[in-house]
Structure 1
Amino acid sequence: MSTEDRLAALEARMQEVVDRQAIFDCIKRNSRGNDRFDIDLVASSYHDDAVHELGEKQISGREYGEHANRSHGALFDANLHNVTMHMCEIDGDVAHAESYSLGVFLDKGGETGRMLAGRYIDRLEKRKGEWRIVLRRATVEVAIEGKATLPTGKTLPGSRYLRGSRDRDDPSYARPLTTDSGSRW
């Protein structure tokens, strides 16, 4: 194999690695935006013509952040979406991804909570050099609910643990990160 061929193969492999990371970052950006109620961050994970399927309902990807904020805000004091196992197949500027997700939700009042486990099944496209979701189909395959207590037997309210916020006042946005920001349960 010539040096040119080896360099071309290395460049192609490197592009695949870069694309895979950009796809996974897009999927994680969507979850972070949901948890921080950051509509712009959620919207940045979808192309303008994207569709997000929720059960039998289909909504615009651009409208999903606002929809999720309304739903999560009405029912829960906190929510965390965790993207775990992730696979994707890339074919040029189109990718199909399957990402396992765990959604943990603290019910209003903080005494009970629930966990939903499922998958994000996504078709993404790379347009103008940027990977974004074109179609998201979400499954829910496990749902568990119960008391939301710490190992001490106490609920989160009153625990004095750092509490995240659903806006840009959340400590994760602080630069530089210091111990001066954030509220406590």
Structure 2
Amino acid sequence: MYTIEEISAHLEIRDVLQRYCRGCDRRDPELVKSAYFPDAVDIRAYDAPDATPAEFARRLVDGFGDLPEFSQHHITNVIIDLDIEAGVANVETYNLVMHPVGPQTSLVLKPEDSGTHLRIMGGRALDRFERRDGEWRIARRVMLIDWSRDDLPGNPVWATIKQGLRPGGLGADPSYAHFQGA
């Protein structure tokens, strides 16, 4: 049986994972960085340099350029191996990620391609969480990709989306007003 402290730790860790996803999808570097301790390291299976949270957050925001489409990060299975006394948790989080990709971004599929595509990936984050000063955050992340598809052409539907309901980045997305009680 879980103790109240263990239940709380599980919920706090899941909240950090969801905050990270929202930060990625809204291209909000401060929200992304808030999921990590400042001295954390982010390691990717693909050809990206190991990064601090600030470097990763900046690369994420810059990497999508001016694409009007936004990504979606979904977390599914979350396995938490918790050591309350030591203040550490090893966490494996399965994820599904949908990224718009086009020539105007640094995530170009093919230089000669003028269209926008959808990259769909399934992977897992292997995280070491630590509790410091009563707060759980990521101290080390290794992101694995189990599979990826890049061959799905996209068809933006912006013309049919009602005014004020279009997704957006930092501060512009309707969810910011929603959480501020507007």
The counterpart of 1:119, out of the listed 114, 124, 128, is 124
The answer for the alignment partner of 1:19 in structure 2 is: 9
**How many angstroms apart in 2 are the aligned matches of 1:130 and 1:166?**
27
CA shift, 1:74, in A, is 6.2
Check whether the contact 1:32–1:81 (CA below 8 A) recurs between aligned residues.
Answer: yes
Check whether the contact 1:148–1:156 (CA below 8 A) recurs between aligned residues.
Answer: no
The answer for the alignment partner of 1:133 in structure 2 is: 138
The answer for the alignment partner of 2:181 in structure 1 is: 176
Deviations 1:62-111 (A, max 9, x none): 32111111113367732111111111011120000011111112234875
Paired residues, number: 162
- The alignment status of 1:147 with 2:153, answered yes or no, reads yes
Matching residue's letter, 2:3: R
The answer for the alignment partner of 1:59 in structure 2 is: 51
The answer for the alignment partner of 1:101 in structure 2 is: 95
Q: Relative contact order, CA 8 A, sep 6+: which one is greater?
A: 2
Matching residue's letter, 2:79: M
Task: Give the ranges of 4+ consecutive aligned residues of structure 1 lying more than 6 Å apart after TM superposition.
Answer: none
Give 5+ residue unaligned stretches, structure 1.
1-8, 150-154, 178-185
Q: Secondary structure at the match of 1:164?
A: coil
**How many angstroms apart in 1 are the aligned matches of 2:32 and 2:96?**
17
**How many angstroms apart in 1 are the aligned matches of 2:96 and 2:67?**
17
TM-score, scaled to structure 2: 0.80
CA shift, 1:54, in A, is 1.7
Residue range with higher mean Cα deviation, 158-167 or 88-97: 158-167
Check whether the contact 1:110–1:157 (CA below 8 A) recurs between aligned residues.
Answer: no
Give 5+ residue unaligned stretches, structure 2.
103-113
The answer for the alignment partner of 1:3 in structure 2 is: none
Deviations 1:101-141 (A, max 9, x none): 11112234875312111011100100000001010000111
Q: Secondary structure at the match of 2:22?
A: helix
The answer for the alignment partner of 2:158 in structure 1 is: 157
State which structure, 1 or 2, has the greater radius of gyration over its C-alpha atoms: 1
The answer for the alignment partner of 1:84 in structure 2 is: 76
Matching residue's letter, 1:137: V
Q: 1:160 to 1:140 in 2, by over 3 A?
A: same
Identity %: 30
**How many angstroms apart in 1 are the aligned matches of 2:131 and 2:65?**
32
Residue range with higher mean Cα deviation, 168-177 or 135-144: 168-177
TM-score, scaled to structure 1: 0.79
Q: 1:78 to 1:126 in 2, by over 3 A?
A: same
